[in-house]
Amino acid sequence: MPSWKPLKRRELIAALRRAGFRGPYSGGRHEFMQKDGLVLTVPNPHRGEIGIGLLAMILRQAGISRGGWEKL
């Protein structure tokens, strides 16, 4: 169950897989994940964690609510 806090990229990918997304696949400049025709861009690996603002944008694009995120 991911909590609503900054997290590592691999934790984000694992949670998105639990939500039914496949990937990540190589793209142009960023990797992406897919689910039922929805293509979701995944941030590139970097030293820091993914902040709450970016996490909120990713989840909005994925159609996952905060409550749904915390249930994954």
Structural domains of the chain in order of their starting residue, each with its CATH number: 9-71 (3.30.920.30)
Collapsing DSSP to helix, strand or coil, 25 comes out as strand
**Do 72 and 17 touch, CB atoms closer than 8 A?**
no
pLDDT tens digits, 34-67: 999 999 999 988 888 999 999 999 999 999 999 9
> What type of residue sits at position 69?
W
Q: Is the pTM of this model over 0.85?
A: yes
pLDDT at residue 3, rounded to an integer:
78
Beta pairing class for 22-25 and 31-35: antiparallel
